[in-house]
Amino acid sequence: MSIWDQLPKPFLILAPMEGVTDIIFRQVIAQSGRPDLFFTEFTNVSSYASEKGRANALERLEIAPTDSPIIAQIWGKEPAHFSETCQALASLGFSGVDLNFGCPDKHVNKAGGGAAMIRTPELAVECFKNAKKSTHLPVSVKTRLGWSKPEEFKTWLPTLLNEHSAALTVHLRTKKEMSKVPAHFELIPEIIQLRNEISPETKLIINGDIKNRQHALELHEKYPEIDGFMIGRGVFENPYCFTNHEPTSEELLKLLKMHLNLYEEYVNSCSRNIRDNGSERRSSPRNDGRELGGDENNYSHIPSYEPLKHFFKIYINNFPGAKELRAKLMETHSVSEAREILKNL
Ligand SMILES: Cc1cc2nc3c(=O)[nH]c(=O)nc-3n(C[C@H](O)[C@H](O)[C@H](O)COP(=O)(O)O)c2cc1C
């Protein structure tokens, strides 16, 4: 049975977020208040298909045991590369594959991927068909209403629904709107109607400005035909947003310590792999690399400490002295320096 048929109704998903929902942060959320389903950050199919990019693509697709069930999100514009990547994904422990047809990033769009697919619907359909025939995993799509005008959903969503994807996530904004205007909740009834008429078996997931479980449940009461809700930035406001829990400052501090520990463990495992292989090469923890093109391609880098600091504001917030503490932590250069500051609290 497909993962999409095993989820509760409504189900909640942690939105894929580049630079945020990596293997480390997903473990923090899995242990605080987990969603029903995780997505990876997006991975470029042409990277996977190239000798040079494959190791990096595989690193982005690393998953931890607590991630399951998890969907691999991919993007690109070459139909053949979608096939090649989807063939590999089945052996990596994923429950499904999601095609990103909504990313507004200018580099991604210039490369013809993400939201650029909205302007090349025939290519989008070809990529979808290739993905579908290359894997037994269910294939879903995440997209926006349109490129520049919200009304574009009236032709764009039917194009996708005609392919009967397992699930369709609609971020209720256009590419041009980025995240600058409120999500178009008023269009939900029409979107439900399109799904019901064209592909009733496709799970419909709504995304954009949904803050937490309570908010999702309220929307579900209003629109019971929505199958699931995807929450992105809500997790910054409350890492427990998939539950009804309002954490205390102590609980948030504990999560920060957990995040630091998980980061350190991950760095240590990367270092061990590099050392054991005698060079900066290693195999994926979930796979010996052979069916993915060989160990030769599994090059690893040690994730740097700097990006980790972006997470501090999630945990150090809303208590007297939080701002000053955060400022101190932002000046650290290592986990041990951060721990030293936290120890004195
Ligand atoms: C930092 C960041 C990175 C993102 N990366 C991705 C991505 O890799 N794939 C994707 O489909 N959407 C990505 N998104 C979009 C989110 O998945 C989501 O659609 C968007 O944030 C709207 O939902 P929200 O209002 O709940 O945050 C990203 C958003 C943010 C803020």
Q: What is the full per-residue pLDDT of the chain (345 aa) written as tens digits? A: 999 999 999 999 999 999 999 999 999 999 999 999 999 999 999 999 999 999 999 999 999 999 999 999 999 999 999 999 999 998 999 999 999 999 999 999 999 999 999 999 999 999 999 999 999 999 999 999 999 999 999 999 999 999 999 999 999 999 999 999 999 999 999 999 999 999 999 999 999 999 999 999 999 999 999 999 999 999 999 999 999 899 999 999 999 999 999 999 999 988 887 778 755 443 333 333 322 223 333 445 788 999 999 999 999 998 999 999 999 999 999 999 999 999 978
> Using CA positions, which residue lies closest to atom 14 of ligand 1?
17
pLDDT in tens, 196-248: 999 999 999 999 999 999 999 999 999 999 999 999 999 999 999 999 899 99
Check if 103 is active-site: yes
Catalytic residue (choose from 86, 103, 127, 241): 103
Q: Find how far residue 192's CA is from the centre of its chain.
A: 24
- Maximum Cα–Cα distance for the chain, whole Å? 60
Q: Report the separation in Å between the CA atom of 17 and the middle of ligand 1, taken as the mean of its atom positions.
A: 5
Residues having CB closer than 6 A to ligand 1 are: 15-20, 41-42, 73, 100, 102-103, 142, 171, 207-210, 231-234
**CA-CA-CA-CA torsion for 306, 311, 313, 319, nearest 10 degrees?**
-120
Out of 12, 13, 17, 71, give the residue to mutate to test ligand 1, the one with the largest number of ligand atoms within 8 Å of its CB: 17
Q: Are 168 and 134 in contact (CB under 8 A)?
A: no
> What is the predicted pLDDT for the residue at 294?
30
228 has which bridge partners? Answer: 11, 205
Q: Would you give the end-to-end CA distance of the chain in angstroms?
A: 49
> Using CA positions, which residue lies closest to atom 4 of ligand 1?
17
